[in-house]
Each structure stands twice: as structure tokens, then as C-alpha cells.
Chains A and B, each alone.
Chain A
């Protein structure tokens, strides 16, 4: 069964460093999302992406964040200068053109020291 994959599974970084979180969505899916979950809290929407552009972004998704789909398969989330409060689990999700269900990857746990 096709699945969404994410790398790395864990990342530890120093405050102020750049991180890139990678996702490989399910093949032929057209809609892509990033969410995050701070430990013990609810899952929050960050950004959605369709037709090679951002569809919607939340207040969390400020100028330090960017997304890219560089090669038609990978979908990346970049944080340019990490802050302590960026520590969270980051989930990628993808959805087919029928938009029936979002399928989530296993997540990347980011720890900013």
C-alpha cells in the first residue's frame, strides 16, 4: 500500500540553524500539507500546497518557513533560522485529486537546543 515517507525521523539542531525536513508524498497525489504537533498539544496546520504554489498558510508559517517541491516527488519544509519554540513533531500529508482523505507520514521530531 502506498505511503507517505518522511526524513529524517529525528533531528536535533542548534537555535539559529537552518533545517530542511523532507517528505515523499504518495505518487499521483496533488495536494500537499505540513502540520506540526508540539509535545502534548493538538495538531496544527502550517501550510498547504497545490499546483506548485502555496494554497494557504497559517499564522505560524512566517518568513522563516518555506516549502518547495523541487523535483516532482519530494516536498520539503525549510526553517531558515530555528527557534526553541520550533521544537515539535512535523507531519507531512498528501491527498489525491479527489480530496477524500489526507494521508500522513510518520513525522519528523525536531528538537531545537
Chain B
């Protein structure tokens, strides 16, 4: 079946540190891959996505590259800010082989705290 595994949290970093949050997946075919972010007390917001192998998604200084060979989609940011403190979810959507809704499969989430 389809599944997503994220690195265990919580992660605590100092401002301007380099961030990596690991995400690996198991899926049949070529799923679409997403990172969603959940700020304290809020809902899920799409951070970035990639729909095919070697694609790089990027937004707000965050990047993730779709690696088919390692089935990974690690999230990176070169210099984090206090405002990046949130929970980050990696997710996949299976390939759209048929007409119909396709659910997202989420990882367990990684809580990130950035200290000033």
C-alpha cells in the first residue's frame, strides 16, 4: 500500500540554521508529493509540491526534490526563521489512473521549533 514516513520530531533549531526534514514514501507508480505546513492553531496550508521524478518544489525559501531512486522528498531550507515554527507534513497522492477522487496519505508530521 501507499505510505509516508517522516523523521521523528520534535526538531529544535536556532534562527538562521539549515533545516532538513526527511520524508520517504512507498507507492505504486509515480505519486504526486506534497509538503503541508500547520501553524499553531491553524489548518493545513500547502507549502510546495512536485508531480514527477526530479521535479523540485519550492516556496518561501523551502525546497524539496522528488527522488524516485531513493523514494524521498526531503524538505530543506537554508536559513530558518522563528516564523517557520510549525508542524510540517509530507504527503503523497497516488497516480490518477481513473476518474475519481484520490486521497492524500500523510506522514506523521514533524514539529519544528525555531529559537531566536
- By DSSP majority rule, is chain A's interface helix, strand, loop, or mixed? strand
Could you tell me if A42 and B109 are in contact, using CB atoms closer than 8 angstroms?
Answer: yes
B100 beta carbon closer than 8 Å to chain A: yes
B107 within 8 A of A: yes
Does B103 contact A33, Cβ atoms closer than 8 Å? yes
Residues from chain A with Cβ under 8 Å of B25 in the complex: none
Asked whether B101 lies within 8 Å of A103 as measured between CB atoms, the reply is no
Number of interface residues of A (CB under 8 A): 26
Binds B, one of A11-19, A47-55, A78-86: A47-55
Minimum C-beta distance from A75 to chain B (A):
12
Name the interface residues of B69-103: CB closer than 8 Å to any CB of A.
89, 91, 93, 96, 99-103
Name A4's closest neighbour in chain B (CB-CB).
B43
CB-defined contacts of A45 to chain B, threshold 8 Å: 103-105
Determine if B101 and A43 form an interchain contact, defined as CB atoms under 8 angstroms apart.
Answer: no
List the B side residues contacting A105 at CB < 8 Å.
43
- Give 17 CB contacts A-B under 8 Å: A31-B101, A33-B101, A42-B107, A43-B44, A43-B106, A45-B103, A45-B104, A48-B102, A48-B103, A49-B101, A50-B99, A50-B100, A56-B101, A101-B46, A103-B46, A104-B36, A104-B45
